[in-house]
Every structure is written in structure tokens, then in C-alpha cells.
Structure 1
């Protein structure tokens, strides 16, 4: 029924549930997941900042990582423009069969913007749009606690962490904690709701 499922994401905590739902659909139908993040463009041009594009890349990378854990094929893309237009254009170009998206995004004005994007997609898309409401409340909202859980996870696998190698980020409700270890650079991803920790090697990304 579904061969290609699109999950638009901005990396906010509230995308956690829509990502899980989209991956469940893809897993059920042996479909490919497409993770798309759009850096918004306003009337005066791109709403670009030093952090906007890296944040968008982290958002789609998170979906790809979760897809790999489930054995689901994933494709990632970052676009710049008007969000609903870019999502519709991508869906058309890639032959998307369904779009799975949250009804709200970040706090404040971004919640309104994401809700507006979803509303436009529901009205304008030629394929089914599955809307997913807010996710569960985070149990871990402090990066020090996330680091502690990440270190414990490395200790359990016999790979003691030497030091945190960079900044700790939260993407789609999951903390990403990078470490330097004897085995090379590793990143532990700690689910802010379940407290589950998963280790990802960064060797492929190292320059």
C-alpha cells in the first residue's frame, strides 16, 4: 500500500511521536522513509541563521538513525523555502504515498507556524496526510542527567567515556551526547521519554 513515507521534521520534541508513527507505518509496509527538514523562507528571504541548517540536518539524521535501528530504509533531505510548498514539491518529485506530520512544533510562534503548515498539507496534498498530536512529556529535560545516563550506557558495554566531545543536543525528544572513547568517537542517544540509550559510531562521519 505504501512504498514511500514522508516525515517532515524540525527536530522539536513534539516530532517524536510523528516520527515513531511514520516509522511504524514504513516498517509495517516495508516502505522507505523520507525525512525532510525545511529551513523556512520569509518575505524578505531565507530565515537562515548560523544554527538553522545544522539543526535541520540533525533533525533528519535522527530519523535516519531511528530507521536504521528498525531495519527501515531511509532517505534524508534538507530544503530551503516556504515549508508547505517545499514539502508538497518533494512529495510530488519523490512519488510519496503518505505524509506523517505533527500538528505542532516548537514553542511560541513556531507552534502556530507548524500547525499552519500541517493544515495546508491536509488541504493541498494529493496523498494521505496522517496528523499526529503532541507526544509524551519528557522525563529527562536536563543535559547533565542525559550525560549521566549516556556514560552509564557506555560503561555497561565496556567502553568507558573519556570526555564529552562537543555540545549536547536534544533532537525530537532524544538527547545526543558525543564522547571520545578508546574505540574512537561515539554518540549516545538517550530517549528523553523512555530513558533508553543507544550507541552510534561517528567514525563514518569523521573527516
Structure 2
């Protein structure tokens, strides 16, 4: 049924769970696992260090698959995570994507949070989303701002800025932000980090 399985990784607990699922499926179907780490354009830091960190994360997943006797390929690339994951799947003729629903913390959660949602929406092959228990609640303005900005960047926005202090309403954070001469409300789930973006139309 499956010959080539893609699992994006960032080193978080949910991506480790996704790797385990991918290995189990590959073992069952005698498939090859492709482990991919994307050095996101959203992250700030030394490019060489980010790439080295990504290689370490990828090598760890490759080693786990090898120990189980599963054929595995590891790659590190850069770009917008959802675009690169979908592009890589197309380039390698992947027939199943397995990924965690969230990343590590802060922006990292979004990289495999809203990204997972975007990949699931646009993928032409099946996507298996792996959720781990015990997700950390988002309780700081700084973290929710990082998540909201990253969500807008992943939607293709540039020059993102937060224009008002984030606030809690019922079971969501709401972040007002501006980008590309438009205004948005970004809703962030405090329990999961999942986001939804709504454009605010100016009053006539």
C-alpha cells in the first residue's frame, strides 16, 4: 500500500511519536521512510547552527529507523515549512505523510501546528497526524505573539507586526496584527497552539 513515507521532524515529542508511527508503517509495508527537517525562514539565528541542529535531529530519526531495519533517507532543507514539505513529497513521489500536530515550544509549535493543518489541507496524498498527550498551555503574551506572527508568515504575509496587546476571549487568544497593508485577527488555541487567521475588512 505504501512505498515511500515522509515524516517531517523538529526534535519535539510529537515528531518523535510521528517517527515511531512512520517506522511501524514502513516495517509493515516494507516501505522507505524519508526524514525531513526544514530550517524555517521564520526562525532567527545563525544559519549554520540552525542547519547543524536540523542535521542532528534528522540523524537521530534516521538512526532509529535503521535500528529497526527500515530503509531510510534523511534530508535537511530550508524555506517555508509547509511549502517545502509539500514540494518534497511531490519531488520524491511520497504516498503517505506522517507528522506531529505540534512542534517543540513557541514558534516551534506553529512550525508543526498550523503547518500540519496546512499540509493536511493541500496534500494530494494521505496525511497521518500524530498527537501526543500533555500539550503545554500557552499562557504568555510573548509566546502567543510569536505563534501569531509565524502563522501569518506561513500564510504568505510579509512585514508582520502586532498592533494591539493580545487578549484572551473565551477559549482562544486573539492577536491583532498588520501585514502587507492588511489587518488580521489571529486566533490561537491556548491548549494546542492551533491557529486561524481572519482578514479584517475596513469599514466603508
Range into which the TM-score falls when normalised by the shorter chain: 0.5 to 0.7
* TM-score, length of structure 2 as denominator length: 0.62
| 1:73 corresponds to | 71
Residue number in structure 1 paired with 2:118 = 120
Q: Corresponding residue for 2:13?
A: 13
* Shift in Å, 1:111: 1.3
Question: What's the offset of the Cα at 1:9?
Answer: 0.2
Partner of 1:132: 130
Unaligned runs of 5+ in 2: 136-204
Aligned counterparts of 1:11 and 1:129: Cα–Cα separation in 2: 19
In 1: Cα distance, 2:49 partner to 2:69 partner: 30
Matches within 5 A, 1:76-115: 76-115=74-113
Q: Within 5 Å, which residues of 2 pair with 1:1-207?
A: 1-42=1-42, 47-49=44-46, 50-134=48-132
Aligned residues: 134
1:55-90: CA deviations, max 9, x gaps? 100111111101111110000110010000001110
1:136 to partner: Cα distance: 7.6
The ranges of structure 1 where at least 4 consecutive aligned residues each deviate by more than 6 angstroms after the TM superposition are none
CA distance in structure 2 between the aligned counterparts of 1:78 and 1:68, rounded to whole angstroms:
18
Indicate the residue corresponding to 2:184 in structure 1.
none
Structure-2 separation of matches of 1:136 and 1:67: 25
TM-score with structure 1 setting the length? 0.61
Task: Give the Cα separation in 1 of the matches to 2:17 and 2:7.
Answer: 11
Q: Which moved more, 1:74-83 or 1:108-117?
A: 108-117
> 1:14 is paired with a residue of what secondary structure?
helix
**5+ unaligned residues in a row in structure 1: which ranges?**
138-207
Report the aligned-residue RMSD: 1.7
- TM-aligned CA deviation for residue 15 of structure 1: 1.5
1:8-35 deviations in Å (ceiling 9; x for gaps): 0011233121110011011110000000
Distance 1:20 1:67, change over 3 A: same
Q: Structure 1's 108 and 126: CA in aligned 2 closer, same or farther, altered over 3 A?
A: same
Structure 1 residues 39 and 129: alpha-carbon distance in aligned structure 2, compared to 1, 3 A threshold: same
